Every structure is written in structure tokens, then in C-alpha cells.
Structure 1
Amino acid sequence: MSSAHFNRGPAYGLSAEVKNKLAQKYDHQREQELREWIEGVTGRRIGNNFMDGLKDGIILCEFINKLQPGSVKKVNESTQNWHQLENIGNFIKAITKYGVKPHDIFEANDLFENTNHTQVQSTLLALASMAKTKGNKVNVGVKYAEKQERKFEPEKLREGRNIIGLQMGTNKFASQQGMTAYGTRRHLYDPKLGTDQPLDQATISLQMGTNKGASQAGMTAPGTKRQIFEPALGMEHCDMQNVSLQMGSNKGASQRGMTVYGLPRQVYDPKYCLTPEYPELGEPTPNHHAHNYYNSA
């Protein structure tokens, strides 16, 4: 089985556009730096075409074994395609254990089928950064920041629960400067404009209303009418002391027939009830029947 069987044909349309954009991100200066680093560690020549020299995975496996001995147990020297793919797969597993993040690692087809050389270069740069972090002398890549773990005593952790972080705001710098009395205005002015500061902040301006000219002229007792008239129209003053009949009157009221509060009121009909006769002094008291009077109680 030839290697051409694993190579993809030319891309068209959107696939070609994506491939071209990925190819534009490829950095040839970084390639030269990676070439010098890998050849210096392994002692082997990669060749004129950088990616084709790494395609069989042999140099990659020897390279990771130099950085971390024993990472790849067996390196296949065969020219068979599946042996080369196996070497690339072993290299990917080894750099994952070495510390390279999974999102920085390329796939085997990116190198073997020449689909994404930019991702292969990014993986080698991430490997260089990890090697530099572990103390190796590398002239390419950046050193990762070292993890600094801090351990606090349980008492300190419990005390921190009672402290409000600055992200939640603070009132340390709060003051009542510029505050006015409750209900009064707060004057706003800009010192840059040269305007004078308000002299009296406790006085309400006339624009907010005033009670200086208020009086009780024309006011009547609570509950009584207030007559409204216009002198220019010749309207006469109304009598504010007398209540009109439209509002009711108590002129014809009397207390006739009223009894003492709490006593029963006698109800009778002259047709059925005898008129009571009161005896004069010295006369015997007439004997009336008990049904002559009916008590309403």
C-alpha cells in the first residue's frame, strides 16, 4: 500500500479557502528555529522539507525520548504507512504525558496527510515552552508561569468569611460632604465654569414655592361652606351664617312625645284603649282591667 493512498487530493471551494488561510498562518522563521532545536537534540538531519522529514514519526519519537527518556518504548523504522502512523500516535501520547495541553496537540492526519501544518508547528512550539519550563535549554517558545500554591490555616480561612471583598464595593471612603438637610435642594455647579458656590443651602428658593405671603383671610370654620363669587359680575355676598332649606332644617323639630333616655315609650290606640282617668283626692280608685294599657316593653 503506497503512501499516496493516504494523501488527500486537491481541495476545492470552501475547503480550499480554509486550507489557504491555515497555510498563511504558518511561520517559516519559527520553522527554522524548531529545525535547529530538534536537530541539535537528536543529532539527525531533517532534510530540506521540514514536514516531510517528520512525516514518518521516527525523528519525533527519538526527540521526545531525548527530552523524557523512555517515553516511546519502540520506534518503528519500517516504511509502511501504518507503522509511520503508529510512530506519530506514540509521539502524541508521549507529549501528552510530558505536559502539553490536549488543545495544543495536532492530530495524526494533520501531519501524515499534510492537511494542517500550522497546527503541527503550534504543537512543537507548545512542546518547546513545556521543555523550557522543565529546565531545558531551548531558544524557541516561552516559559510557562510556575504554579504557586498557597496553604492557609483553617483559622485564617474562617476569618476570611467575615471580610467583604473589594469587588462587592466598599464604604471606607464614604462621607457626608456636600449633603444638605432632608428635603432641601442640592446645588450642582462646576468649579471650572467659575460659578459661585451657593451661600445658603438651608433656604428654599422662590422657584420651589413660598408661604411668606400666605394668610387666613376668607377662611371659614371647618365644615362650613366657602362662598365663591366674582365682584365684577355683581354677585352679592351670601349668608354664611344660615343654613338653607335645601340642606335640611331643624326649625320645626320638637321634643314632644320624647321620654327619658332608656325608658319605654307607651304605644296605644284610643279606639281600643280607655282614656286614663285620674281620681281626685278623697275618691276611690277605679278598678281598670289589665288589658286597657299595653306596654311596649
Structure 2
Amino acid sequence: MNRATKSGIAAEAQSKINSKYSEQQAVECLDWIALITGADINKSGDMDNFYEVLKNGQLLCELINTLKPGQIKKIQKSEMAFKCMENINQFVDGAKACGVPSEETFQTVDLWERQNLNAVVICLQSLGRKGAQFGKPSIGPKEAEKNVRNFTEEQLRASEGIVNLQYGSNKGATQSGMSFGTTRHM
């Protein structure tokens, strides 16, 4: 990368973003990726290793294809910037196809330019929770299951006759006689 070092407010903002990064969560994500893909990777959670392992996007694409075979047609093997960014972008699209909500994904530059590695961790955790849906081990808390309730028309109408005391009442209270501060002197 040939990007200038951030300074001033930009450096403060980057520092704040970096402070949200959790090495423990990164280790959990890398362990899960190694388990799913069978890749032999360094599972250290420090930012430098996390970035180095994932930056070209190839492992991320393999992860998606392991969960959902054939989702990513062509994984770029080149180390050229635009090819790596294409891999990362394909991973993000694949994660969405696997059910990761778009608010839990990341921008390509968050990983490629190391702008926000915490967003990458969040996306991997979200994808990790979906693992069980694809017959693979999952990480993090178990996802909630749908619990649809169907009420009859009679049950829905039963609440209409009830006067709800939670709506409250002001019992005739008014603001008459209240004064705040002093009167205006001319």
C-alpha cells in the first residue's frame, strides 16, 4: 500500500476503529476458517497476522465455496491489487448469499487497505453463526429460530373491549399557575 500515514482527526478516528478490534474474536474466526476449509494457517489473532492471512481474499472465497459449493465461480490466484480486491468483493457477495445481513458485511477496502479489520471479524462471526445451516460447525451464539404465532380473529378482537390503564390519565392537571424564571423586564 502506498497510502500516506493518517494524522490529526483521521488518525484519531482510525485509532478508535482499531480499538474495537478483538484478538480473541479474531482467533475464533481464524480457527473456524481453518476447521471449515482445512487450510493450514497461522491462527494468531493479532491484527498483522489476521490481515496477512486474509488480505488476498483467496481463503475467504474457499470458505464460501466450502459452505455453499459453486457460489464463487473463479477465485483469482494473482497477488495484483485489483484481483485480490475482486476476491474480497466476491466473498462479501457470497456471505450475503449465505444469509449474512448487509449491515454485518464490510467494504472491500476495510480489509484490503486495512481500514477496519473489526468489520471483517463481525462479518466472519455472522457467517460463522450460519455454519450449522450448511451442515458445518458454527461459532458464536446459536441463531434464533422463527417462532410464528397465529391468532384467530376472535382472539385479536378480544383486546378491543379492554380499557387500558397503561395509557395513563392526567386527572385534570393543567399548567395554570406554573411559572418558570422571572418575568421579562422592559
**Same fold at TM > 0.5:** yes
Number of the residue aligned with 2:93 = 93
The within-5 A match list for 1:136-215 is: 136-138=136-138, 140-165=139-164, 167-168=166-167
Q: Identify if the C-alpha distance between structure 1 residues 8 and 168 changes in structure 2 by more than 3 Å, giving closer, same or farther.
A: same
- 8 A contact 2:100–2:127 mirrored in 1: yes
Q: 1:196-231 CA deviation, whole Å, 9 max, x = no partner?
A: xxxxxxxxxxxxxxxxxxxxxxxxxxxxxxxxxxxx
Q: Letter of the 2:37 partner, please give it.
A: T
Q: Is 2:118 aligned against 1:118?
A: yes
The within-5 A match list for 1:55-66 is: 55-66=55-66
Q: Is 2:35 aligned against 1:40?
A: yes
Q: For the aligned residues, what is the CA RMSD?
A: 2.4
Q: Identify if the C-alpha distance between structure 1 residues 97 and 163 changes in structure 2 by more than 3 Å, giving closer, same or farther.
A: farther
Q: Identify if the C-alpha distance between structure 1 residues 65 and 166 changes in structure 2 by more than 3 Å, giving closer, same or farther.
A: farther
**Structure 2 length normalisation: TM-score?**
0.77
Q: Letter of the 2:26 partner, please give it.
A: E
Number of the residue aligned with 2:130 = 130
Q: Identify if the C-alpha distance between structure 1 residues 100 and 165 changes in structure 2 by more than 3 Å, giving closer, same or farther.
A: farther
Per mean C-alpha deviation after superposition, the further-off stretch among 92-101 and 160-169 is: 160-169
What runs of 5+ residues in structure 1 fail to find an aligned partner?
170-297
Number of the residue aligned with 1:189 = none
Q: Identify if the C-alpha distance between structure 1 residues 82 and 165 changes in structure 2 by more than 3 Å, giving closer, same or farther.
A: farther
Number of the residue aligned with 2:3 = 8
- 8 A contact 2:37–2:66 mirrored in 1: yes
**Structure 1 length normalisation: TM-score?**
0.50
Q: Could you tell me the percent identity over the aligned residues?
A: 37
Bigger share in helix: 2
Q: 1:60-115 CA deviation, whole Å, 9 max, x = no partner?
A: 01101212223212211122221111111111111112221211111100000111
The within-5 A match list for 1:261-276 is: none
